[in-house]
Amino acid sequence: MNVKLKSILTISGLRMLPIDSTKKLSFTRCIRDGDLVIVYERYDNMKAIKVCDGSVLENRFGVFKHSDWVGKQFGSKVFSNKGGFVYLLAPTPELWTLVLSHRTQILYIADISFVIMFLEIVPGCLVLESGTGSGSLTTSLARAVAPKGHVYTFDFHEQRAVSAREDFEKTGLSNLVTVGVRDIQGEGFPDELSGMADSVFLDLPQPWLAIPSAGKMLKQDGILCSFSPCIEQVERASETMRSSFTDIRTFEILLRTYEVREGKLDDFQGDEAGSLGPLPRKRRQRSNEGSNVRETTGPPTVMARPCSEAKGHTGYLTFARLKCLS
């Protein structure tokens, strides 16, 4: 990287994804003082905690000493003074997306996984992103390009960029991510990155303004993705793409989750949240006398049903491939 590019993209120091002595992402080593861990109480109650020797975590399960966490492996079950427990999980991009501070609307796992697959991101790729926002997607992009790739992410809002940079330091990604303050819609991407990007991701209110610059940044056959909440944005962005891009496709990802729990069939009768329809009643078995009837229930059954609340529309993902000059 030349000196001019370094001056445009200030790289700030650094440890969410633990890094071992060989500078490779690793969750196999033990938790150390200063590490970031995800404290898991239940699937809908998690928080990111920085381990500090001498500090404690207090919750409804009791008091947990951080000093008891040091030396344990990620995934360990730790107990409080009252016998309650939590799990100490590695701060993977999936979990970080669920606990990070929301400075803007974020992309969630369904969209993120689709983006990484369709942008064909693999280790060693160079990826450009605008805007950074809360850094949810950036975190997953960084893991996808590790250990030798890099993500350059830009946000026009200086304080958001500063906060994102601090988060990437906490999560151990600063060696994989460079955060820049820049109005990509008005200025485009830095010229120093021209022809270097394997893929570009845009999350902007007017993506069509940045599409020409994105095309200049991409390598031959590189891929662009634009995320937009409104179909009108998709239409205008797609029209702009036609001159330099091909294979333009738009997707909407709707995720449907299921509740899985164990119980007797009768426990599920009349459950307003369920949508499985009528379930079998108790079986009636005749005794040897032929006239007496006894009711029996079977063993507990594992039941699966759609959750009563489904996540709705988040946005549209439009992908396009840069036309080859040949």
Q: What is the pLDDT of residues 203-220, one digit of tens each?
A: 999 999 999 999 999 999
pLDDT of residue 170: 87
What is the spatial distance between Cα 245 and Cα 207, in angstroms, rounded to a whole number? 14
Question: CB–CB of 181/155 below 8 Å?
Answer: yes
Alpha helices in 63-123 (DSSP H): 93-99, 109-118
Residuewise pLDDT in 10s, the chain (326 residues): 444 444 334 333 223 444 444 444 555 578 999 999 999 998 889 999 999 999 999 999 999 999 999 999 999 999 999 999 999 999 899 999 999 988 888 899 999 999 999 999 999 999 999 999 999 999 999 999 999 999 999 999 999 999 999 999 988 899 999 999 999 999 999 999 999 999 999 999 999 999 999 999 999 999 999 999 999 999 999 999 999 999 999 999 998 888 888 877 665 555 544 444 444 444 445 545 455 545 555 678 888 888 877 677 899 999 999 998 76
pTM, entire model: 0.77
Q: CB-side exposure of 46: number of CA atoms within 13 Å?
A: 23
Give the residue carrying structure tokens 């200049």: 216
Kindly provide the b/e burial profile for residues 28-62, where b requires at least 16 CB atoms within 10 angstroms of the residue's own CB. Answer: eeebeeebbbbbbeeeeebebbebeeeeebeeebb
Pairwise CA distance, residues 251 & 77, whole Å:
40
